[in-house]
A and B are shown apart, each in its own frame.
Chain A
Amino acid sequence: MKNLKYLFLLVGALSFASCSEDIMDDINKDKNNAAQIQAKLTLPHVIVESAAGTTATDMAWYSSVYIEHNAGTHGQFYTADKRTNTNESSLFNNSWNSLYQSALMPANDIIKKCSPGGTEADNTRLLGIAQILIAYNWAVTTDMWGDIPFSEALQGSLNRQPKYDTQETVYTGIQKLLDDAIVNLTASLTSANTILTYDYIYGGDAAKWIKAANSLKARYYLRLSNKDASAAQKALAAAAKGFTSAADAFVFAKYEATAIGENPWYQFFVDRTATSVGKTLYDLMVARNDPRVNYYFTLKSGVIVPAPNGTATESQNATYSVSKIASELRTNPTPLMSYHELLFVIAEAKFRASDATYTTDLKNAITASFAWHKVTESAATYYTANVEPKLATAALEEILTQKYIAGYEIESIEAYNDYRRTGFPTMKNPNNNLAAYGFVNRFPYPTTEESYNSANVPSINSFKDKVWWAK
């Protein structure tokens, strides 16, 4: 009986000791993740997400179908071609969330750490880089959806229902971010480059980042050509400080030939076989006797068989030719902005500014595109025989058509933006003319916004309502 009392006391004492706050804290300590890290360790992710996630996945794939670079011949891309499942909030839910959570949020985390008051306030080089990357992602977001949460976004539980800012406000913000980035990078030109390998794109080279910022500024100024009378002049001024060669281009080229490192376009081709060559693009190229057809498309029984946009058979890759770029180039780089794109921007801006030298820039742009695709045929010959004759009557259309052809298919997002802004080249999908459907003028707002920010999310119809700069 006596011994039992001790046993009882012992068990009781042990039990109380076994659940003290300190012991419990230790038991509940996170053993799987880091609590704090240096800002530069986040940079590789932001770059990969901006290139692969933002520029080379769902948004690009759907854009390539909407813009008729490709025709959807299987699964969701087949229905995208048919327009039957295009206005649903679930369609781009993942893309939207990836942009905010996986691109904008970590970029903002770097910006916070490297801004005054942050833990690495003197790291202006990293700050500038992060500002360029965040500006790039903001632009894709607003281009696809129009009005978006911008000024009140990225605040977590401090603001669970951020308001939507107008696209105009977002564009002003993007130009400011790029201006700030240029200032911060200029300040860091003389400081030590500790970023090096963490920067997949320029190895921490601030001068090149400044050129990228200016090139993007040119792109975004020109985007407002329907809204800002001086858009072309502003674009040209910025472009003058942009890329001076293809070596400067804003391109992610670190894909690896492994299952978990391949260009997403290649993975998409292998995993889904959902798209085939769009007849709209193919016809434009054939009409111009464009030698790039042999670099762009695979053969089917010895010939290129394009899929008619909107009426193709659900066939995976059994019936039609597919993209040679996606299916054969496992580690093909992803341009966030290519050199040829800048040249097309200059050509269009000059044309709009009535500067006749735009033809030189157009020719250079086509030459740069040929170089990107390692085309052995002469770009100059092609230009003279097939492009120049068209400029007399339909210069703007031809500039944009050439940009459209050059953009196949990895720059389909820009092609989609350009078409919505200019209406060039003409789309052929017959479903664009159906009363209940139509051309996809913008992406539907995602489920998470419809469900959890319903008070603020605008009500739009993807088929009927254009984004602000497209009006």
Chain B
Amino acid sequence: MKKISLLLVFLGFIGLQVVLAQTRDITGTVTSTEDGSTVPGASVVVKGTTVGTVTDMDGKFTLKVPQGAKSLEVSFVGMTNTEVLLTNAANYQVKLEPENISVNEVVVTALGISKEKKALGYATQGVKSEELNRAANPSLSSAMQGKVAGVEVRPQSGMPGSSSQIFIRGARFFSGNNNPLYVIDGLPIASTNDYAQGVTGTDFSSRSVDIDPNDIESINVLKGQAAAALYGMRASNGVIIITTKSGKQAKGKPVVTLTTNYTADKISRLPELQQNYGHGFNGAFAAVNSNSWGPKLENIQNSKTVFYKNTTTSAINFDGVNINPGETLYLGGANHGNPNMYYSGQAAKWLPVQPYNNAKEFFDVGGTTSLNLNVSQAGEMGNYSVGVGNTKQTGIIPSTGMDRMSFKATADMKMNDMFKVGFSANASNVSIDKVPSGNDSYLFGVFGAPITYNLRDIPYHIAGNDYVQTSYRVGSVGDNPYWATKNNKFNEATRRFFGNTYIQFEPTKWLSFKYQFGGDFYETDQEEIWQMGLAKAGGTIPSSYVPPIKTLPSGGKIVNRAYVYRNYNSLFIATARGKLMDQLNGEIVVGNELNDEYGRSFWMQGTGLQVPGWNNIANATTQVATESKNTDRTVGFFANGSLDWKGMLFLNATGRYDVVSSMPRNNRGFFYPSVSLGWLFTELEALKGQSTLSYGKLRGSYAEVGAAGTYMNPYYATGGSGSGFITDGISFPLGGVSGYIPTTSIYDPNLKPQNTKSYEIGFEARFFNNRIGIDYSYTKQKTVDQIFAVPLAGSTGYAEEIRNAGSMSGYSHEFTLDLVPVKTKDFTWNMKINWSKSESKCEELAEGVENITLVGFVDPNIRAYAGKTYPTIYGTSFLRTDKGELVIDDDDTSPYYGMPMAGGTKAIGNVTPNFLLGVNNTLSFKGLTLSFLIDWKDGGMMYSGSNRLINLYGTSAATDNRSTPFTYTGVGYSTLESIDDNDVAHGGTSSTFSRGGEGDEIAHQYRYATILGSISEANVFETSFVKLREVSLSYTFPKSLVSKIYLKGLSASVSARNILLWTSLPNFDPESSQGTGNGQSGFDYMSLPQTTSLGAGLTVTF
């Protein structure tokens, strides 16, 4: 206690003073009103003091209370707090009401305004700390998966610090930000990525990664626009309101909680690879090639592929075999007295011919250790909570990991009856080590490594030169993943502080004023070392190993980025409430908010490195740097009026006027209204007090919210020249001269905000004394006048025009079912089912614009496509007839005879799932609790570049059985009558074509590597899945037991996460995709894998 007091003083906090005078002893028993059972572990505190105790195993307590003490406060998790007036009696019988599904739950709504949940005319849904943290997920966004209806979390991967896209009720904007606003303890904070990832480089973590989920007390999700309307233009996508631990529950003595967790992580799914065909192409063995289209394993040792012809005048020894002058070294060992062996130039050894599972061997078992210490206390004058947490992760890919330190402090203090002050402060230091994905992925070399190449054991660099790699292939792509993880480095380190302080003044009961000022500050520095010798960065993997190369490697690149961010938020709110007339209460809130943002980013790149391993920009012969500054301000004025008639009808209306700097002059101020109505019909006399239908509410709302765009005047930018095929191109300055070009973007000076209109209707009911609860919402929304870069035909001389055009509409059904199927004295089974179906449809883009690209390659990519659900996969399709049949190449001189043909580029898949279902179960028996969450995503599609590539390389199990014929049924190309402008074929006769029998093994290679590899539609798959998202078993030790070891509480748990039960996607985990943002989960290209975790944890309270 002394130490903690010191800590509080150190924090500038005025310690709680406890003056104890004379005391007397009282005793009592706490029981539950529901079944009369006693309540062990309930907290009993003398009101206004820190004097308190907890009840024993029999629900009994004894307590020394000071003379003059007026009342006791008795509380227990899951039951309503009760105040007991002290009389002269020495024994008290306290009855607690259970609140398994609380009717009078108070929730935090927009701008920190607390409201009773029953009074809301719109849907919100909460997640409590224990629900969030029960499986010890270190990532806040993925810890929310399956727990809130209508919230879809699309994670990029399972790597430490991986980003996620969150859609609440689908998407609203074609290419804008569809992420919700995060508000922590009343302060809106930055939560998205500083940089977007496309199809190259590394993922950039979302800034929500800075938050340790252990610090969170509860989350309330404001799903719709009516709920979020008071936040104005930033809240079109809903709001995630996070309340960190405040200490309000820790009445009495300080509560110290220590939580630790350890989990072991492994790759969630490995692709199935063939084990029968070796390294090579066209059925011929090659020791240096990117493919596994070689001969069957048993034929390799006899291979007559030339490895080396001795043109010197003396014999050369190859690992014990002499090749005389004029002789040839064939790869197959049978020619050299080494049957069942082949000569590997990379290993400089004769190696056995055998299959390897390179993918399985590459991944590590990762681990996550987390530790969180929290001290909380509450008393008459206020409450505080201070915490420190550390999360350390090592990823399943070597060299990856995360180290997060976080600190938090919150306090509220009543100065007197009228003044209250408080603050919330959070600091974090996060360092993430990553690896690139997409085009730069290391996984090409893992999943694509030939079956006969022993990737793990053949040295990844040549003898005596660490920086010259060896690999199964050569040239400028296909880096050896072992070499790359050893030598490259991708680090992202963020130091952040955000917090706010407030003062609240309540001169009378009906009037209050609150002023809050907050700031969010962070800096991120990123270091990318693309080591010299990396084929991806201008190096090459040498093709010749005889004699060993001693020269230095070429290439290499260093990229340094820094991002500095600062945001101030000033918020003033005045509230007046009172009785307007009999049975009618009213409340009015008016206020003002100012949000001022500043961001500056620096980027420098050094190429042409000179010294391998010297990881500093000074090592680069060419250095290029850029900077970017951005300032932005929003000033909002708002009002909120609510009426409550008889506790039955609740009307709420809001209005907000926002002025934004980023819009063009004289077009900056905009007004948005919202209105909502809730009718608690069970308050009608006829329905009141029933146990069958214990609670029933109808609600409806309408809202309009705008979102600003960014306007810029025409400008000139530095030029340069390049191509999609080369990394660097030509940059200025060149020869001491720089060149500039007019920007290829046009901005419309009449830009206006994009406006979302939405309505929502909903129904809530509870039956049988709250044993069953249902909540259903239907929403429809439409966002018109979207601000986006409307693409222009290249021939206009411009790439895009930033203007208002087009609209997107969406609807969402959300259904929540709360069930308590079993509840006895010792055993309770709680079930919470979240089902939702959200669909956004891109109604129209702009005149003459049918679709726009969001992320991906030129072909395929992810687009917003007029008339289709958002987003849509786009790329080369199969050539089909008007009846939908495939067109087959029937030219029997063609190597592609019997195979499908490519049609035009078209919409080839729909990313949106049909529905999401999360089934949460909690079974408690005495101190034992088993929780599990089953997450089912039905439908939705993805372009799986990884599947394309393992088929193309001939490593996938699908490419096995090469002597078995395959057939295609379709219309022969030569029989067609015509192919129209939309690439639809007409006429023709259908037949079945067969290829790939004995002697035609090469047909499989043509099929996968040449034909299907070039038709994007062939690689679009459905991504339905069922996952056992979380399962945890925890045991809370009895208080009577732990009190003997001077503890207040002790619980231990084991948990597992992300156990994939089933998916329709072949070979890979469907929750692994490419790019940041709106296209996420629709496009994969050797994207980083997901993990399955198994762990154990311990929580100690003292």
Say how far B656's CB is from chain A's closest CB, in angstroms.
Answer: 13
Q: Report whether B1014 and A453 are in contact in the complex, using a CB–CB cutoff of 8 Å.
A: no
Chain A residues in 8 Å Cβ range of B973: 435-436
Closest chain A residue, CB of each to CB of B730:
A52
Determine if A454 is an interface residue (Cβ-Cβ < 8 Å): yes
Contact A268 to B725, CB < 8 A, known contacts A48-B734, A258-B607: yes
Are B740 and A4 touching (Cβ within 8 A)?
no
Shortest beta-carbon distance from B591 to chain A in Å = 9
Residues of chain A within 8 A of B288, CB atoms compared: 318
- Asked whether A4 lies within 8 Å of B309 as measured between CB atoms, the reply is no
Please state if A79 and B741 are interface contacts (CB–CB under 8 Å): no
Among the listed B474, B744, B799, B904, which residue makes an inter-chain contact with A318, where contact means beta carbons less than 8 Å apart?
Answer: B474
Question: 1/0 contact trace for A243-266 toward B, CB 8 Å?
Answer: 000000000001110111110100
Let me know if B719 and A160 touch, CB within 8 A: no
A282 to B736, CA, bound (A): 40
Interface: A97 (CB within 8 A): yes
Q: Which of B694-748 contact A (CB under 8 A)?
A: 711-717, 719-732, 734-744, 746, 748
**Does B1102 count as interface, using CB distance less than 8 angstroms?**
no
Residues of B within 8 A of A259 (CB): 538, 555, 557, 607-608, 621-622, 727-728
A451, B736: Cβ atoms closer than 8 Å: no
- CA–CA, A288 to B665, complex, Å? 71
In the complex, chain B residues whose CB is within 8 Å of the CB of A446? 794
Contact of B859 among A31, A88, A455, A459 (CB under 8 A): A88
Cβ of A317 within 8 Å of any chain B Cβ, yes or no, is yes
Q: Which residues of B contact A200 (CB under 8 A)?
A: 734-735, 737
Q: A-facing mask of B545-574, CB < 8 A → 1, else 0?
A: 000000000110100000000000010101
A435, B592: Cβ atoms under 8 Å? no
| Chain B CB within 8 A of A162 CB | yes
For B891, what are the chain A residues with a Cβ–Cβ distance below 8 Å?
Answer: 434-436
Closest Cβ of chain A: how far from B857's Cβ, in Å? 8
Do residues A270 and B476 form an inter-chain contact, with CB atoms below 8 A? yes
Decide yes or no whether B24 CB sits under 8 A from chain A.
Answer: no
How would residues 19 to 53 of chain A score, 1 for a CB under 8 Å from any chain B CB and 0 otherwise?
Answer: 10101110110111111110001111111110011
Q: Which segment, of A105-113, A364-372, A379-387, faces chain B?
A: A105-113
Contact with A along B808-851 (1 / 0, CB 8 A): 00000000000000000000000000000000000000011111
List residues of A (214-259) whose CB comes within 8 Å of B's CBs. Answer: 254-256, 258-259
Q: What separation, in Å, do the CA atoms of A52 and B794 have in the docked complex?
A: 19
Asked if A186 is at the interface of the complex by the 8 Å CB criterion, the answer is no
- Rounded to whole Å, the gap between the CB of A380 and the closest CB of chain B is 34
- The answer to whether B798 has its CB under 8 Å from any CB of chain A is yes
Contact with A along B636-666 (1 / 0, CB 8 A): 0100000000000000000000011111011
Cβ contacts under 8 Å, B908 to chain A: none
The CA of A41 and the CA of B718, in the complex, are separated in Å by 10
Q: Which chain B residue shows the least CB distance to A448?
A: B794
Give the segment of B206-214, B383-391, B625-633, B1027-1035 that binds chain A. B625-633
In this assembly, does B465 line the interface, its C-beta being within 8 Å of a C-beta of chain A? no
The digit string for A444-468, where 1 denotes a CB below 8 A from any CB of B, is 0011111111110001000000000
In the assembled complex, A197 has its CB within 8 A of some CB on chain B: yes
**A27-B633, A261-B622 in contact; A43/B739 too (CB < 8 A)?**
yes
Is the pair A1, B981 in contact by a Cβ cutoff of 8 Å? no
State A100–B742 Cα separation when bound (angstroms). Answer: 12
Interface centre among A49, A76, A104 (most CB of B within 10 A): A49
Q: How far is it, in angstroms, between the C-alpha of A316 and the C-alpha of B478 when the chains are bound?
A: 11
| Residues of the B chain whose Cβ atoms lie less than 8 Å from the Cβ of A45 | 719-721, 732, 739-741
Interface positions, chain B 483-537, Cβ under 8 Å from A, are: 505, 507, 513, 515
| Chain B residues, Cβ within 8 Å of A100 | 794-797
Count of chain B residues near A, Cβ 8 A: 122
| Complex-state Cα separation, A363 to B473, whole angstroms | 44
> Are B744 and A451 touching (Cβ within 8 A)?
no
Query: Known interface pairs A97-B799, A100-B794, A318-B474. Does A447 touch B592 (Cβ–Cβ under 8 Å)?
Result: no
Asked if B791 is at the interface of the complex by the 8 Å CB criterion, the answer is yes
Cβ-defined contact, A162 with B793, below 8 A: yes
Q: Are B795 and A148 in contact (CB under 8 A)?
A: yes
How many chain A residues sit at the interface, stated as a range, is 35 or more
Task: Tell me how far the C-beta of B950 lies from the nearest C-beta in chain A, rounded to whole angstroms.
Answer: 16
A89, B904: Cβ atoms closer than 8 Å: yes
**In the assembled complex, A417 has its CB within 8 A of some CB on chain B:** no
A49 touching B719 by the CB < 8 A rule?
yes
Q: Cβ of A48 and Cβ of B538 under 8 Å apart?
A: no
**Which of A49, A451, A455 makes the CB contact (< 8 A) with B721?**
A49
Known: A84-B1014, A317-B543. A19 touches B793 (CB 8 A): no
Residue among B622, B712, B731 making CB contact with A30, cutoff 8 Å: B712
Asked whether A57 lies within 8 Å of B741 as measured between CB atoms, the reply is no
Whether, in the assembled complex, B104 has its beta carbon less than 8 Å from a beta carbon of chain A, the answer is no
Q: Which residues of chain B come closer than 8 Å to A84, judged between CB atoms?
A: 896, 902, 1010-1011, 1014
* B858-899 interface (Cβ within 8 A of A): 858-859, 876, 889, 891, 893-894, 896
Beta-carbon nearest neighbor of B572 in chain A: A11
Alpha-carbon gap, A101 to B717, bound state (A): 13
Residue pair A11, B1010 in contact (C-beta under 8 Å): no
Closest residue to A100 on the B side, CB-wise?
B794
Task: Specify which of A12, A267, A274, A435 is in contact with B894 (CB 8 Å cutoff).
Answer: A435
B1009 on the A face (CB < 8 A)? yes
CA–CA, A7 and B514, complex, Å: 11
Are B715 and A42 touching (Cβ within 8 A)? Answer: no
A436 contacts B851, C-beta separation under 8 Å: no
Interface contact A105-B592, CB-CB below 8 Å = no
Query: Cβ of A15 < 8 Å from any Cβ of B?
Result: yes
Contact A8 B513 (CB under 8 A): yes
- Please give, as numbers and ranges, the residues of chain A lying within 8 Å of B635 by CB-CB distance: 15, 18-19
**Shortest Cβ distance from B863 into A: residue:** A451
Q: Is the CB of A106 within 8 A of B555?
A: no
A327 to B: closest C-beta gap in Å: 10
Q: Say yes or no: is B291 at the interface (Cβ < 8 Å to chain A).
A: yes
- Which residues on B sit within 8 Å (CB–CB) of A273? 474-477, 540
Question: Provided the pairs A154-B797, A453-B848 are in contact, do residues A268 and B726 lie with their beta carbons within 8 angstroms?
Answer: yes
Let me know if A149 and B632 touch, CB within 8 A.
Answer: no
**A115, CB-defined interface residue at 8 Å:** no
- Given A259-B728, A270-B555; A94-B723 close (CB under 8 Å): yes
What residue in chain A is nearest B895 (Cβ atoms)? A82
Residues of A within 8 A of B1009 (CB): 314
**Distance to closest chain B CB from A378 (angstroms):** 30
Q: Which of B729, B741, B847, B859 contacts A105 (CB 8 A)?
A: B741
Contacts A258-B621, A452-B793 given; indicate if A106 touches B848 (C-beta within 8 A): no
15 pairs, CB–CB < 8 Å, chain A vs chain B: A11-B570, A28-B661, A34-B740, A41-B716, A45-B741, A48-B732, A79-B1010, A102-B744, A156-B797, A264-B726, A302-B311, A315-B286, A435-B974, A449-B793, A452-B792
18 new A-B contacts at CB < 8 Å, known A37-B740, A157-B792, A447-B858: A28-B662, A44-B732, A58-B723, A84-B1014, A94-B723, A154-B796, A157-B748, A157-B801, A162-B796, A259-B608, A260-B622, A260-B729, A315-B281, A318-B289, A436-B891, A450-B905, A453-B795, A453-B848
Chain B interfacial positions (CB closer than 8 Å to A) = 281-282, 286, 288-291, 306, 308-309, 311, 473-477, 505, 507, 513, 515, 538, 540, 543, 554-555, 557, 570, 572, 574, 592, 594, 607-608, 621-622, 624, 627-633, 635, 637, 659-663, 665-666, 668, 711-717, 719-732, 734-744, 746, 748, 791-799, 801, 803, 847-851, 858-859, 876, 889, 891, 893-894, 896, 901-902, 904-905, 973-974, 981, 1009-1011, 1014
- Shortest 9 CB-CB contacts between residues of A and residues of B: A45-B739, A45-B719, A44-B739, A259-B607, A453-B793, A273-B475, A149-B795, A154-B797, A33-B715
Binding site for B on A (CB under 8 A): 1, 4, 7-8, 11-12, 15, 18-19, 21, 23-25, 27-28, 30-37, 41-49, 52-53, 57-58, 61, 74, 76, 79, 82, 84-85, 87-90, 93-94, 96-102, 104-106, 108-109, 148-149, 153-157, 159-162, 197-198, 200, 254-256, 258-262, 264, 267-268, 270-274, 301-302, 313-318, 433-436, 446-455, 459
